[in-house]
Structure 1
């Protein structure tokens, strides 16, 4: 079981590092590269640089709120 936990941890760390590196390159370095350079085809337009994290945050908060609401309703039913 410990090996599986390590594998999951390594996978999550790798995914997080990849996303962080991609986003950092997209936001900080890409604006200084010429717009006709081939690297631009691997990145979304700059408009999405704010929309993607905002959408992800709203989704995360919504799911968290639904989870907390369900737990509160379940605990209320157990007491009654």
Structure 2
């Protein structure tokens, strides 16, 4: 059995830290969005909690724009990979 070197151990720790950070960010966004879309419509309009959220229209606009941006990014990425592989063959 081989022993883990110091750099392997630090990389593992860094990967875990990044993964934990991404999980925390995702959980925060999910909780915020779920509260915004599911619970906030049932709260009175003059309640102070509405100050922390955007208008309801943005609950649809933001995910749609994010989805369009993701699809555009994927198309550009796939196109660039196809062009690079085509150049290698030639």
Fold conserved between structures, TM > 0.5: yes
Question: TM-score per shorter chain, which class?
Answer: over 0.9
Please list, as runs of the form range in 1=range in 2, the aligned pairs for 1:6-45 lying within 5 A after superposition.
6-45=16-55
Match of 1:52 among 62, 66, 69: 62
Query: Max radius of gyration: which structure?
Result: 2
Q: 1 CA distance for matches of 2:14 and 2:68?
A: 31
Structure 1 alignment gaps of length 5 or more: none
Which aligned runs of 4 or more in structure 1 are off by greater than 4 angstroms? none
Residues 1:74 and 2:84 aligned together: yes
Note the C-alpha offset of 1:36.
0.4
Using the alignment, how far apart are the partners of 1:55 and 1:41 within structure 2? 23
Q: Unaligned regions of 5+ residues in structure 2, if any?
A: 1-10
State the aligned residue count.
80
Cα distance in 2 between the residues matched to 1:42 and 1:64: 33
Q: Structure 1 length normalisation: TM-score?
A: 0.99
Q: Following the alignment from structure 2 to structure 1, what is the Cα–Cα distance between the partners of residues 52 and 71?
A: 29
Q: CA RMSD in A?
A: 0.4
